[in-house]
Structure 1
């Protein structure tokens, strides 16, 4: 097996040779050092390494380079080697740029030049980055292949599941020669199929089977915990981080993928500490790794179907028939997008109609006219992202404008993007097509009209999906969980409890709600994370008095 690569790029030949010399002196036995003197040349080298199946451990780039500076190079290199550690080499005068790059390219470290002696200022940094790289879970894109029909809803669901869990894969249309060979070798199984690195073929697999095949955890390691967190969105991840970091044996159960709806956002630009924005996937991945670092267990494809009180324990029932118990539970299940009530649209779900950002489908929108239904931030973020590759993006809203439902910064961005058009007072009344979505019937103040459309992304509000809690905890008439003061105001305090509920506590003592599922919560990422942290503090208070 080829040695992993350490890549260094600097336009100054003397500095480039010096960096490579110092690297080879210490790491040549275990790593191959590759140097380049410009960003484009370095990208060509990375593409060649990728084609040969070689891995890259660290990329070191000088900030001040012509044609392409270090930040621009690292941003483009992320697409080729997302798990490689990224280090920016900078002069003292460029430290502000380096700090900004932490948000732009998820920079792992920046180093000031010069670094003599390397034993004190250079090697310790590289050692730490190599150690972090070795402990990063990573999959080679060529190791996992998905074969299916282009307009199969289940093929889309599998690709979306892999994309949201940040598992690289190669999708092969069933008509491709390589796909035909794989299908024949597997005995012509039912499509879609997932082929793993060791040649195992999964035919029409469930999400749980796919998760197990790619190494995601699908079952808890124990029967009893201090804290169970149900839901892996910002609130759930926040609760898992704070719970585990404060010594609680914590397990998080997520049905789909870490990040929830926020994890599908192409760019979140109003989250504290990220002035240049951060993708929802990056934020979710960081939070997931942080929770696991503190010892939290994260269960994927874990559908929860029930909750009950059993003495001092709180028992969670899972769809597979198993149960887990804990001293306390935090409900952070978030919300799901409402379905679009338009004739014929449902039959094209996963075949041109998508709820949420649908990251797996975004690249396919190149050169297309794309339609988005919804006027809140998630719709705006998706529009801005799609406008980079689509020929035109149409935003359809019922209201007269975006001002009531979308943040001001997004409205300004959209106004400045020429290929985004907002259609006020417009609704979708029908969808048409054969194997895929081909047209939409729209209604606006001028009447009805039919437009050609292959892609429709829907962001039309949300529902909490809390039917499984019926009769267990108090909810409002929309299904959101009532907690603390809201229980008191509604006159729905639990009987036989000698104290009033804590601020985020439900009508069942020891069970708390955080994030979007909680009645009257702020529907923002920052407030959801705050809810998760506050809920853990209240769990401690509950445990101390139990």
Structure 2
């Protein structure tokens, strides 16, 4: 009988009591099936197994752990197994394709759309235009010389086909361009839907505030590109950034927040006691308060020959959407923060080798300890300190990198693919001179503003809320901003921002009385 050669999705190994060697056995099996999920199964109350399990999860030797079912029909066990299989399926790709895209795999536009669909948790099937499947699909759509990439919305009954669509074209085809009521006055407009913006929208809408969220790209911001966040409260075995962000989006939506996609704020001005935001589509929206949570963009590497190959072997972020295409390759990750560490761990599941390049002598000051330990334990990951990427070469795709040692000046040329995660730059240019910013572009808040008397010309002169210091960024997090009237947020401070929004709305109501 011929073997079907089905892939192994999950490996379950018993631990504790009669299975003292369960972890070692599971590790051995996992080496034979590296694409599977490794899951430890323990009995409730066997607390002696906790420490070795937690250590194995930290080192990336286990993906999850769960309890042995104690009764027939243990739904908690069934739910846990389903989550394991769901995560394995997400890593493999395939399955239902709500959207199908055919294009040049290494074009920057195709890469951008893959990343956007992935971050928004839209089931996507991508097919190279030069492959047999790709050519067959284009022929089935009666497209002989299409403008690539071609995007087909398969979840709609008429299955519309878009050639080289803009982000607005896609949003329109998805039915996301419903115009806002021009006479509407919101209690709160949240600019950006990263973790801080989503947190603010959940708390504001749940407390009855009429809330609008503006998002020009994808739910979750940079956090949405993280393959696995392990230090977020409530998720002991971790959760992907886009799953976490999408859950918060659904929560905010359920409470009544209005989401306005593929439109961005272009400026904010005070208007008769209100705040008027001009939008990228030419419309405007009026609100009593505004939370600025526009987050940051990946800092560019600044090497001309590498910038010319963006999307074609040089990627900014995008580890989740591009990882499956890295099989058999040597991948270089530039950056020493948590985002770079998470990207390296995720890419190591696909690439033959992953090399993390950092300018510092170690990761200690820039990366969380659990990630450092996990990188150290991965056999196909190397951390190379005191180096900098200074050049590269390639035609249609990156072929070689030039790496310089900062202490000796020696240079080496190596073949590989480059993922750049070297920090971020605040997205605050749209504010112009309406709010005070430091020389890096971060919003000045709290005590920083109070040191300026009188305020510099063009800077905000309205009420000043005390708050944390955003300038310079956050060592192990992402910085966004909130201006109610006028404050910056770090990840997880959405609830605090809404507290200040309530206080400001109370002041407005008191003044009106």
TM-score by length of 1: 0.72
Aligned to 1:470: 432
1:192 Cα deviation after fit: 0.6
Change (3 A) 1:94 1:471: same
- CA distances 1:455-495 after superposition (whole Å, capped 9, x unpaired): 21111121113111112111111111112222102446489
Matched, 1:292 2:253: yes
Distance in 2, matches of 1:497 and 1:305, equals 17
1:218 Cα deviation after fit: 4.0
Distance in 2, matches of 1:175 and 1:435, equals 14
- CA distances 1:385-444 after superposition (whole Å, capped 9, x unpaired): 112221111111111111221122222221222221111111111111000111111111
**In 2, are the aligned partners of 1:343 and 1:429 still within 8 Å (CA)?**
no
Distance in 2, matches of 1:209 and 1:46, equals 40
- CA distances 1:214-272 after superposition (whole Å, capped 9, x unpaired): 45x34454343111000111110110111111110111111111111111111222222
Matched, 1:189 2:157: no
Distance in 2, matches of 1:338 and 1:45, equals 39
Aligned to 1:531: 493
1:152 Cα deviation after fit: 1.2
Aligned counterpart for 1:502 among listed residues 462, 465, 470: 465
Distance in 1, matches of 2:282 and 2:151, equals 26
Partner SS for 1:456: strand
Structure showing greater relative contact order (alpha-carbon pairs closer than 8 Å, 6 or more residues apart): 2
1:163 Cα deviation after fit: 0.6
Matched, 1:199 2:159: yes
Partner SS for 1:443: strand
Aligned to 1:118: none
TM-score by length of 2: 0.76
1:337 Cα deviation after fit: 1.2
1:92 Cα deviation after fit: 6.8
Matched, 1:322 2:283: yes
Aligned counterpart for 1:378 among listed residues 333, 339, 349: 339
Change (3 A) 1:329 1:182: same
**In 1, are the aligned partners of 2:64 and 2:237 still within 8 Å (CA)?**
no
Aligned to 1:58: none
Aligned to 1:73: none
Distance in 2, matches of 1:419 and 1:497, equals 51
Distance in 2, matches of 1:422 and 1:539, equals 44
Distance in 1, matches of 2:149 and 2:105, equals 10
Aligned to 2:170: 210
Partner SS for 2:321: coil
1:380 Cα deviation after fit: 1.1
Aligned counterpart for 2:101 among listed residues 128, 131, 146: 146
1:94 Cα deviation after fit: 8.9
Question: What are the ranges of 5 or more consecutive residues in structure 1 without an aligned counterpart?
Answer: 1-40, 48-61, 69-78, 81-88, 116-120, 130-138, 505-513
Change (3 A) 1:525 1:294: farther
Aligned to 2:471: 519
**In 2, are the aligned partners of 1:92 and 1:113 still within 8 Å (CA)?**
no
User: How many positions carry a matched residue from both structures?
Assistant: 446
Distance in 2, matches of 1:393 and 1:265, equals 17
1:200 Cα deviation after fit: 1.2
Give 1:46-445 correspondences, 5 Å limit.
113-114=71-72, 141-184=96-139, 185-187=141-143, 188-197=145-154, 198-214=158-174, 217-219=176-178, 221-222=180-181, 223-444=184-405, 445=407
Q: Compute the RMSD of aligned alpha carbons.
A: 4.1
